[in-house]
Structure 1
Amino acid sequence: MLMNPDTCCVVMIDFQHRLMPAISQGDRVLAQGVRLARIANLLNVPVIGTEQTPDKLGSNAADIARLCHETLVKRHFNACQGGLLDLLPRERPNLVVAGCEAHVCMLQTALGLQAEGFNIWVVTDATGSRKDTDRELALSRLRQQGAQLVSVEMVAFEWMESADHPRFREILKLIK
C-alpha cells in the first residue's frame, strides 16, 4: 500500500528538548523529524505532537513545536491512553509515526494505534532511543507486527508521486 498525503497524518512522539541530548544521534533524529514535519506541512498533512511529562522532560524542541498543529501532553507511554485518539482525524487512517524513545513511547503508541485500526508507517531515521539496541529491537518488533518501516525521503517521494508535483522543488531542497 502506498502512502497518500490526503489520507495520512503525522504523529511526532516526544521530541522533547531535555530528552534529545540523551538519544543516540539525537541531533540527526531531531533534524529528520523537523524535515518530516516541514514536508508534511507543505503537503497539508496534519502533524500531531506528543509530550511525555513535560514538567520533567521539557516541551518539544522549538522547531518541532512550531510545526505541530496540536500537541498532546501525556503521562501514559501509549499516547492512545492519554487522549491521542481524540486528536486524530478518522478520515486519515494512515499514520506516519516518528519520535522517541523508540522502545517505549513510540513503540507503545504505534502498537496502540495499530490496535485501533490505523495503518502505521514508522519513519526510522526520525526515530531514536538512548541505546541503539533498544531502537533496533523496537523497529524489529514493529515490523513483525505489520508496521511499515520507511525513511523521511521515502515518505516525501511517495506523497509527491512524481517530479511534476507543484511542491517538488521545495521538498527536494529539504531532502538534499
Structure 2
Amino acid sequence: MPLIDPARSLLLIIDVQVRLMPVIADGAGILANTGRLAAAAHRLDVPILVTEQNAGGLGPTVPELAPEPGTAFPKMSFSATRTPGFLEGLPADRDLVVTGCEAHICVLQTVLGLLEAGRRACVVCDAVGSRRTESRAAALTRMAAHGAEIVTTEMVVFEWLGTARHPRFREIMTLIK
C-alpha cells in the first residue's frame, strides 16, 4: 500500500462526544491524539469529517474537536456507512484516516462498511478507544483482519509531511512533542 498522502486523505473523527469520552479507557490520550491529528490536518489542508452518534443522548462533539456549527454528520446507525448520504458524500479520491469511539462498535462497523465499499481505511490505533481495553484490542485485530491498515498518530503525521523540509515541519513538530 502507498504512503498516506495528505492530498488523498480525509480525517474521519467518529463520535468523540461529551457524554461518551469520560467513560473511555485512556480517554484523555485518545482525545489528545485525535486533537494532534485534527491540528495537523488543518495545517496541511486535509479535510475533516466528524460524526455524532445519537447526539441527543451522547451530546455533541467535545469542544476541543467541535466542527463548524451544522457540519457534524448526525447518525443513529452504529456504522456511518449505513446512514443515507454518508458514502455518497465522501470524496471518491480520498483515503480515510479514522479515529474515534467506540472502537468495537461505531469505529469497527464504519470501517468494515468502508472496506466493503472498496475504500482504504487507516485506523489510528492510539486515537481510537472503547470503555474496555479488551474491546478496543479485539476491534483493532478484527479491522486489520478485514484489510484496515492499523497506524499510529505519528505515522500519519510524518507520512502527511513526507520530509523534514516540508514548510510546516517545525510548526507541526510542536504538536508531536
Question: Structure 2-normalised TM-score?
Answer: 0.95
SS across alignment from 1:16: coil
Q: Give the 5 Å matches for 1:77-92.
A: 77-82=78-83, 83-92=85-94
Q: Match for 1:88: what amino acid?
A: L
CA RMSD of aligned residues (A): 1.4
1:16 matched residue in structure 2: 17
1:67, CA displacement in angstroms? 7.3
The corresponding residue for 2:173 is 172
- TM-fit CA distance, 1:91: 2.2
Aligned-partner Cα distance in 2 for 1:69–1:112 = 24
Tell me, which stretches of 5 or more residues in structure 2 are unaligned?
none
Aligned 1:61-140 pairs, distance under 5 A: 61-66=62-67, 70-82=71-83, 83-92=85-94, 94-140=95-141
- After the TM superposition, which segments of 4 or more aligned residues of structure 1 sit over 2 Å from their partners? 66-70
Describe the SS at the equivalent of 1:97.
Answer: strand
Q: Which runs of 5+ in 1 are unaligned?
A: none
1:148 and 2:153 correspond = no
Note closer, same or farther for the CA distance 1:32–1:150 as it changes in structure 2 (3 Å cut): same
Shift of 1:69: 9.4
d(CA) in 1 for partners of 2:155, 2:69: 21
Shift of the alpha carbon at 1:66? 3.7
CA-CA distance at 1:63 after TM superposition: 1.4
Structure 1 residues 45-82: Cα deviation after superposition (integer angstroms, max 9, x where no partner):
10000000000000000111147993101000000111
- CA deviations 1:98-127 (Å, max 9, x no partner) are 100000000000110111111110001110
Residue 87 of structure 1: how far off its partner (Å): 2.7
Change (3 A) 1:161 1:69: farther
Q: How many residues align?
A: 175
The structural deviation recorded for 1:129 is: 0.1
Structure 1 segment 24-39 matched on structure 2, within 5 A: 24-39=25-40
